[in-house]
Chain A
Amino acid sequence: MNLVAGLDFSILPQQLANGLLLGAIYALIALGYTMVYGVLRLINFAHGEVFMLGSYAALFTSWALGFTPEALKNGAEKPSSWMVLALMLVVSMVVCGLIGVVIERLAYRPMRNQPRIASLITAIGVSLFLQYAGGLFLPQSPPPAISEQVNPYRKDSDNVRLTLKDAPAALKAQAKLLDAEAGKAEAAYRASEQQDPPGHTTAATEDLRQKYQTLERSAQKVEGEVNGQSVKLNIPFGQLIMLITTIVLMLILRHIVMYTRTGRAMRAVSHDFDSASLMGIDVNNVVTVTFLIGSALAGAGAMMYATFLRTNLTPFLGVTPGVKAFVAAVLGGIGNIPGAALGGILMGVVETLVIWLGFSGYKDAVAFVVLIAVLLFRPGGLLGSSKVEKV
């Protein structure tokens, strides 16, 4: 078996960190699924699209704050700060919360007394409606990618680095030297390229380009060796903010659910919808609050997703995270709030570890196998009740 021999253990800590960061997003979205399911026994398939709308809300906020494509044309820099990020987060959460409430009011409430399958199909309908309406009205991959402009911590030097084991000093010195030389060669080549008539490359420039390329290759090779011999953690600062914000939001949610009147009402409705209403709880109010909180969490996730993760915005960006988060919610035990958080993080870590094992082609497959395995032994999910649910 060359399975173990082919593994690179020096990148395992980094891969675990990657998995945790990925899982944190899944967890944040999964919370919305699980809360709605807990209260209404409804799988809100439009949740992924609320997430998508949240990322656009963040984008439009950034535009309103002056980070428009026009203002940033030709590489113009506009200083950003954490205040901008905080404002975007708040707007995104509020917008998503309201969208969630509107969806519930218009699409799900009229269906509440119908068979459950009717609500489920309505949810799918809302999801598709938002995707394709978004396709008509929202800009696709609006320029420039949002993470390029508003994140004040986007530079390489802002990354949080942790060296667990260092490479030999001699090798590092060599890498630095070669890098400097390659930098000089590149400058010479670019300068010569500027002198050339447009659309034509002179022999001198070509010569400089070759020289620069050779130097660049050897510099990269040595740098690769340095990387191979050291064990490092390299986490973009934005993603660290994201992880911390996620944890804080989860703690706030836990506080609301466990220690407030609204939270107690939510738990009561979740326990028994009809009895709760007989006990004088305003069920409609509780459902509205549930959608508000669940969707606002998705909005927070969406804002951070759009800002820190260097990905493009499309009206379909909610689909994949939505499905993954749904699976995470089921894995953790749908209806169970800590379960959703656990399921999300587990999904992220398992997915990344499968990639690390060298089976990137099977990563989703393995995630689903884990789901099946868990459901075989614990039909209610990891932390869910073991009572069999008919869905």
Chain B
Amino acid sequence: MRNNLVGKSILIAAGLAMGLLGGCKTTETGNGSPAPDTKSGSNTSSSTPARPSPKSDGNAISDPIKIGLVVSLNGDLKPWGDDSFKGATLAVDEINKAGGIDGKKVMLMPGDSNSSPEAGKSAAQKLIADGAVGLLGEVSSGITQQIANVAFDAGVPVIAIGATKTDITAVGDNIFRVCYTDDFQGPVMAKFAYEELKLRNVALMTDNKQPYSQYLSKSFRAAFEKLGGKVIHEEFYESKQTQFAGQIENLKSKNPDGVFLSGYFNEVGPIVNQMRQAGLKVPVFGGDGWDSSELLTSGGEAIVGGYFCNHYNSKEDRPEVKEFLSKWMARYHAEPGTTMGALSYDAAMLMMKSIEKAMKANGTKSRDVTKAIEDTENYPGVTGNITLKGQGGNPRKPALVVEVTKNGFVWRKSYKPEEIEN
């Protein structure tokens, strides 16, 4: 307990220092969030309490119909932002080519979140002020949280593309997502590690600056311990850090039989690369934060053989996947580097279908669109069937565990929500 106190006072002092020094540089992305309390893993229950409704009716459905898209067109998360932008553009152009919605063209308004929550917040505010009837985005949970807060006050619906942190949709009943949550993803990887990789003593590596990573580590830990495994150690780092020798040496001395890395691909690649160099050769695995072909370039040969949880796989046999890939290839002449292209396509399509539904029911405002999104049942998305009715904004979708190979990500096993929940 004493340690904790000392730690907290140090943190406060340093927070002040960071504020002073950070004041000169505006590129810091952290929001000063303290280290997660890793001991309590109790909030992984999947019951959804009633979500508050926004007071405002939101923007009107104008002509052209304005949809805002907040993604990271700059900064560390650019690979996701670029793919999200391409996916949404593909969907919007497809609808416009077919005559738009009820004769009205759709206008996609992109906003840059610059890989930081602050910039994401102002981008969302600007898009809403410009008349967006609904918002799409983000991939990062930390940024989506800010967008959700802004959109709740304005009464504009949000469909998040790849934000998996569970409590984001609890902000209000106008916040939705097209991906699964960390409450599902963590247990999936725990089950995979325990049953398929036969790991028992696992160490965690968590990005202290990303709410996504903190929460995923927590949900993994709870699930893995429930299965009977042990989490023997946890190390922390921060986004944009590039040298991890200290943490890796500590991990090595604890002799884990596997390491779960819950952060983003930017850091995971170098970490695993440096881990192998330091002689720690145990299996590594993580969440959908790994999903980018950049993982292969920054991780090199070291990352080959790692596993992570993903949303869909381009080698799947479903007609939606094949159709999406052929459209994508025709337009961009290369396979999508991440799965965010498909998720963004799904989010944009779902938004436009819901606007269409709302207009057919004589709806005129954002609130009507929110209602139409909430009523989504069995929408056949590229990334799987999406049902949002009565789900609290979180669709129940299967998760895929893929292996990193030299030639890309190869499907290994899928898990349905039912397999995890009991």
Contacts and interface: CB of A to CB of B under 8 A. Distances in A.
Interface stretch (A90-98, A103-111, A260-268, A305-313): A305-313
A126 B235 CA distance: 35
B273 A45 contact: no
Contacts, number: 180
Interface in B203-255: 208, 235-238, 240-243, 245-247, 249-250, 252-253, 255
Contact of B78 (A140, A156, A210): A140
A365 B74 contact: no
A360 B250 contact: yes
A11 B282 contact: no
Interface string A206-218: 0000100110010
B25 interface: yes
B292 to A, nearest CB: 9
A213 B246 contact: no
A319 B298 contact: no
A156 B411 CA distance: 30
A228 B7 CA distance: 28
A44 to B, nearest CB: 12
A308 to B, nearest CB: 10
A14 B24 CA distance: 35
B296 interface: yes
Contacts of A45: 24-25
Contacts of B11: 362, 365
Interface in A119-148: 120, 124, 127-128, 131-132, 135, 140-145, 147-148
A351 B11 CA distance: 14
A199 interface: yes
Contact of A368 (B18, B35, B249, B277): B18
Interface stretch (A17-25, A244-252, A334-342): A17-25
Which applies to chain A's interface (DSSP): helix, strand, loop or mixed? helix
Contact of B300 (A19, A145, A351): A145
B301 interface: yes
Contacts of A22: 243, 245-246
B78 A362 contact: no
B288 to A, nearest CB: 18
User: Contact residue range for chain A?
Assistant: 35 or more
Contacts of A273: none
Interface string B64-85: 0000000000111011000000
A347 B277 CA distance: 23
B247 A319 contact: no
Given A45-B25, A143-B296, A316-B27, A135 B74 contact: yes
Which applies to chain B's interface (DSSP): helix, strand, loop or mixed? helix
Given A213-B198, A221-B255, A360-B250, A317 B242 contact: yes
A236 B25 contact: no
Contacts of B79: 140
A10 interface: yes
B242 A217 contact: no
Interface in A313-370: 314, 316-317, 319-321, 323, 326-327, 351-352, 355-356, 358-366, 368-369
A68 interface: no
A175 to B, nearest CB: 12
Contacts of B26: 124, 128
A245 B300 CA distance: 26
B6 to A, nearest CB: 9
Contacts of B270: 310-312
**Which of B3, B18, B246 has most A Cβ within 10 Å?**
B246
Contacts of A43: 24
Contacts of B249: 11, 14-15, 18, 356
B420 interface: no
Contacts of A362: 7, 10-11, 14, 35
A192 interface: no
Contacts of B236: 360-361, 363
B294 interface: yes
Contacts of B278: 234
A127 B27 CA distance: 10
B269 interface: yes
A225 B257 CA distance: 12
A312 B237 contact: no
Nearest to A225: B255
A127 B13 CA distance: 27
A10 B294 contact: no
Nearest to A3: B3
A360 B246 contact: yes
Interface string A165-183: 0000000000000000000
Interface in B143-194: none
A372 interface: yes
Given A145-B300, A156-B277, A217-B198, A355 B14 contact: no
Contacts of B24: 43, 45, 120, 124
B198 A309 contact: no
A36 interface: no
B51 interface: no
B21 interface: yes
A305 B273 CA distance: 14
A66 interface: no
A316 B75 contact: yes
Contacts of A351: 246
A316 to B, nearest CB: 6
B329 interface: no
Contacts of B240: 316, 319-320
19 contacts: A15-B246, A21-B245, A22-B246, A128-B26, A140-B78, A234-B279, A305-B242, A309-B243, A311-B270, A312-B297, A319-B25, A319-B27, A321-B242, A352-B245, A359-B7, A360-B236, A366-B10, A371-B17, A372-B13
Given A145-B269, A321-B242, A364-B18, 8 more contacts: A128-B26, A141-B297, A145-B273, A310-B270, A311-B298, A355-B235, A365-B17, A372-B17
Interface of B: 2-3, 7, 10-11, 13-15, 17-18, 21, 24-27, 35, 74-76, 78-79, 197-198, 208, 235-238, 240-243, 245-247, 249-250, 252-253, 255, 257, 266, 269-270, 273-274, 277-279, 281-282, 294, 296-301, 315, 406, 411
- Closest 9 A/B residue pairs (Cβ): A224-B255, A365-B14, A312-B298, A355-B246, A368-B17, A361-B236, A143-B297, A18-B245, A361-B35
